[in-house]
Amino acid sequence: MSIDTTGFVSLLRREVLRFVRRPRNTFVPPFITNVLYFSVFGVILGERIDQIAGVPYILFILPGLVVLGAISNAFENASFTIFHGRWNRYIEEVLTSPLSYRTMVSAYVLAAAIRGAIVGVLIALIGAFFTSVGVARPLYLVAFAVVITLLFAGFGVAGGLWADDFDDLTMLNQFILRPLVFFGGVFYSLNELPATVQQVSLLNPMIYMVNGVRFGFLGVSEVDPNASLAVLGTLTLGIIVADIALFRRGYGLTD
């Protein structure tokens, strides 16, 4: 194996082991949060809400919750590992190695995407405990899951390089990511919004992710899934290329 292959596997393994060995920080919180979401919004409130887009409310929100969990965890993993590594300077173990910048970024992004995907599957399983759910379009589901976790892992790497403090990470997650997701059609249908707000909502990239994953689970979508996939795929490629350029420039990494 070349330095790049061995190095990539080593860094990927290190990154995956970091979150796998700390389930109390990585998997237990989304588990508890989503049990609460499904209990309160799905069961208690859901029974008082009519069907949306032809499906029961609990089923309607399930794909959105999967997206919310998957992208939050992908983002958090990548941003934390980069920022914490900078903060405690152990990222220098990687930076002073002969790995190419492309290999470094690929390993960080893929590991974070894996965590996002695991959390997404966990949430889907919690949903299946509360309601009967199938997968109408498995290929679309997998494609969207791959693209959105990679996309937010890519954003996480950039966020981790940009942050100067732990507060900056919290700000990215709470004030940017979470509002976009909540206004991204997780808990309501676009058709229920006034026409103008509907048009504005289409500027929110979360709409395409939530609808894409919803199409994978339920076979229904309020936007064209192929167009969504194409746009999201391009964005993902763009952010990963940008991450590599930032590493090459040493942004946030070198003096």
Partner 1 sequence: MEAAIEIRDLRKSYGDVQALDGVDLTVPEGSFFGLLGPNGAGKTTFINILVGLVRKTGGEARVFGHGVEDDYREARDHIGLAPQEFNVDRFFPIREVLEHKAGYHGVPPGEAGDRADEVLKRVGIYDKRDTRFDWLSGGMKRRFMLARALITDPDLLILDEPTAGVDVQLRHELWETIVDLNQQGTTILLTTHYIEEAERLCDEVAILDSGRVVDVASPEELMDRGTDDIAVELRHAPTAVPDFTAVDERVESVDLDGTRLVVTAHQGGLVAPEVVRCLDEQGHEIVDLEIQRTSLEEVFVEMTRQGEGRATAEVSQ
Give, as ranges, the residues between 27 and 66 that touch partner 1 (CB under 8 A): none
Q: How far apart are CA 33 and CA 196, in angstroms?
A: 33
Q: Which of 35, 49, 53, 95 binds partner 1 (CB under 8 A)?
A: 95
121 phi and psi angles, rounded to 5 deg = -65, -40
Nearest residue to 228 (alpha-carbon basis) of 155, 137, 135: 137
Least Å distance, CB 255 to partner 1, is: 5
Q: How far apart are CA 170 and CA 76, in angstroms?
A: 9
Under the binding rule (CB under 8 A), the answer on residue 255 touching partner 1 is yes
Tokens of 95: 């930076």
Piece in contact with partner 1 (CB under 8 A), picked from 6-14, 57-65, 199-207, 236-244: 6-14
Piece in contact with partner 1 (CB under 8 A), picked from 56-64, 93-101, 161-169, 212-220: 93-101
Cβ–Cβ < 8 Å for 68, 36: no
- C-alpha distances (whole Å) from 209 to each of 4, 25, 206, 236 are 32, 25, 5, 12
Q: How far apart are CA 204 and CA 199, in angstroms?
A: 10
55 phi and psi angles, rounded to 5 deg = -130, 155
Find the angle CA(240)-CA(33)-CA(149) to the nearest 5 degrees. 15
Piece in contact with partner 1 (CB under 8 A), picked from 47-55, 95-103, 180-188, 214-222: 95-103
Least Å distance, CB 98 to partner 1, is: 4
Q: Which is nearer to partner 1, 107 or 118 (CB)?
A: 107
Q: Which of 88, 194, 195, 196 binds partner 1 (CB under 8 A)?
A: 88
Total of chain residues touching partner 1, rule CB under 8 A: 30
Piece in contact with partner 1 (CB under 8 A), picked from 12-20, 34-42, 63-71, 154-162: 12-20
Under the binding rule (CB under 8 A), the answer on residue 14 touching partner 1 is yes
Least Å distance, CB 2 to partner 1, is: 7
Q: Which is nearer to partner 1, 90 or 175 (CB)?
A: 90
CB within 8 A of 252, min separation 6: which ones? 86, 160, 161, 162, 163, 246
Under the binding rule (CB under 8 A), the answer on residue 137 touching partner 1 is no
Tokens of 3: 């330095």
Q: Which of 20, 44, 93, 202 binds partner 1 (CB under 8 A)?
A: 93
Under the binding rule (CB under 8 A), the answer on residue 230 touching partner 1 is no
Q: Which residues bind partner 1 (CB under 8 A)?
A: 1-4, 6-7, 9-11, 13-14, 17-18, 21, 88-90, 92-100, 250, 253-255
